[in-house]
Structure 1
Amino acid sequence: MTTAYWAMLAAILLPYLFTFFAKFRGDFGPKQNHNPREFLQTLQGSRQRANWAQQNSFEITPAFLAAVLVAHTIGQIAQPTLDQLAVAFVISRLVYGLCYIADLAILRSLVWFVGVAIIVALFVMSAG
């Protein structure tokens, strides 16, 4: 398996890191697991922002997965470049989540743009 494929798995799992922060931070278990969506809506501060980072991560991940699959299928991008872009995307999403939790809004938006630019680059570079 290529590094880009492993990055796909990392991108799929990354939102759960933010979920963990939102639900378990400072606790030994979830505050409310019978109605988790309702519970998550009651959070405030960094825990609320972690939930929002989780939601955004779930929203953008399908586009990244599609971009990597298209790039692999078409084969126009050299494998090392594809791997580097995929890893850069995962790193950008981790930094994005950390910025969201820390309430660094401007930096978060810039990092979000980097992630989207990587997805666009994968498609455009694949077009040849």
Structure 2
Amino acid sequence: MADGFTWAYGMVLAASLLPIVSAGIAKKIGARDSGGFDNSDPRAWLEQQRGAAARANAAQQNGFEVLPFFIGAVLIAHQLQANQTWIDLLAIAFVLLRVVYVWCYVVDKATLRSLVWTAAFGVNVAILLLAAF
């Protein structure tokens, strides 16, 4: 990575792209199942979807919901000069867990999805608290 641009910052970008990927999955599945996609009113169209398309859309929404905490945790850990290796490793773990979370949501593995969400939340807390220890 370029000097000053850490792996953790790269994971902020990756985490920011995951909701967009989830939306794409929702639209692709929904268009396949319902015979097309309404780009003139995509939010209303997505709200009408069921099954995997609806779950992918929910994963998109949750992806946007978790971003502020993740971005804040990474920035605070950097600002307080926590161990960079740990920030990077935990940020990578967070993104990998979020990828698994999206998969769990789309394929309807509800219990595993909740466990993965909890693990990702714990990783986020760990990033935030790195500089405290």
TM over 0.5: yes
Q: Which residue of 7, 13, 21 maps to 1:9?
A: 13
Other-structure match for 2:132: 127
**Which runs of no fewer than 5 residues in structure 2 stay unpaired?**
none
Cα distance in structure 2, aligned partners of 1:63 and 1:5: 14
- 2:127 and 2:6 map into 1 onto residues whose CA distance is 15
Distance in structure 2 (CA, Å) of the matches to 1:60 and 1:120: 12
Q: Does 1:112 align with 2:109?
A: no
Matched, 1:20 2:24: yes
TM value normalised by structure 2: 0.90
- TM-align CA RMSD: 1.7
| 1:127 CA drift (Å) | 2.2
TM-superposed CA distance for 1:124, in Å, is: 1.7
Structure 1 position 38 matched with structure 2 position 44: yes
Q: TM-score, normalised by structure 1?
A: 0.93
Per mean C-alpha deviation after superposition, the further-off stretch among 117-126 and 9-18 is 117-126
Corresponding residue pairs, total: 127
SS of the counterpart of 2:123? helix
Distance 1:44 1:63 in 2: 29
Q: Give, in whole Å, the separation in 1 of the partners of 2:49 and 2:131.
A: 41
Query: What's 1:50 paired with?
Result: 56
- Whole-angstrom distance in 1 between the partners of 2:31 and 2:109: 25
**Cα offsets for 1:50-86 (capped at 9, x unmatched):** 000000000001110000000001012x111110000
Alignment of 1:36-115 (within 5 A): 36-76=42-82, 78-115=83-120
Partner Cα distance (1:27, 1:121) in 2: 39
Please, which runs of 5 or more residues in structure 1 have no aligned partner? none
SS at match of 1:99: helix
Look up the equivalent residue of 2:18 and give its one-letter code. L
